[in-house]
Chains A and B, each alone.
Chain A
């Protein structure tokens, strides 16, 4: 394996892991569910993209690269839907929503 590929892959994987760490820190530092969803939804989608790019540099053959792209695309499609559902539940079941954020208009 070439030196360049090793370094590039490592940089991307470390960046992805850093973002995962930030996501978990956000779970503990933010108090309200709707704010936690933000951290979870965004950090996960970027982190999985960065780790997949890093692994593409490590793997190198076209089959693996396409599969990693497929995994990234699927997570990017599925993750917003999951966080959207979580938000919907939170808005429908939480009785003290006004304490946590300003509500302009509700569905």
Chain B
């Protein structure tokens, strides 16, 4: 009973991750993609946790914890990179007009 519930939950999560991926590919702006990637990473954490419960293995919780840290870092790095790029572009633009 418990295993069936967990399997169905994992299947549902996989479907939502697929739709997030569609959004990440379609997204007209870069920030759309970042939002989608953020959701995908959190759903990935939940997927790892559910899989750990399905296998009755406590080690998966450590993996999920580290994955949370890494996914957060990934989003922050991408965001900082894009901010720096935007600032650079703005500087060049004003320089060009002046």
Is B one of A's binding partners? yes
Q: With A58-B53, A90-B31 given, is the CB distance from A40 to B38 under 8 Å?
A: yes
Counting chain A CB atoms within 10 Å of each CB, the highest count among B39, B68, B76 belongs to: B39
Q: With A64-B61, A74-B65 given, is the CB distance from A93 to B86 under 8 Å?
A: yes
**Is there an interface contact between A92 and B61, defined as CB atoms closer than 8 Å?**
no
How many residues on the B side are at the interface (Cβ–Cβ under 8 A)?
A: 42
Instruction: Report the bound CA distance from A24 to B23 in whole Å.
Output: 9
**Is there an interface contact between A27 and B45, defined as CB atoms closer than 8 Å?**
no
User: CB < 8 Å: which of A55, A67, A71 contacts B53?
Assistant: A55
Instruction: Report the bound CA distance from A33 to B1 in whole Å.
Output: 40
Instruction: Report the bound CA distance from A47 to B49 in whole Å.
Output: 13
How many residues on the A side are at the interface (Cβ–Cβ under 8 A)?
A: 46
Q: Which of B35-51 contact A (CB under 8 A)?
A: 35-36, 38-39, 42-43, 45-46, 49-50
B69 within 8 A of partner (CB): yes
**What residues of chain A lie closer than 8 Å to B38, measured between beta carbons?**
40, 44, 79, 82-83, 86
Q: With A89-B31, A92-B83 given, is the CB distance from A75 to B76 under 8 Å?
A: no
Interface positions of B (Cβ within 8 A of A): 1-2, 5, 9, 12-13, 16, 19-20, 23, 29-32, 34-36, 38-39, 42-43, 45-46, 49-50, 53, 58, 61-62, 64-65, 68-69, 72, 75-76, 79-80, 82-83, 86-87
The 5 closest A-B pairs by CB, nearest first: A85-B79, A78-B72, A67-B61, A82-B75, A24-B16
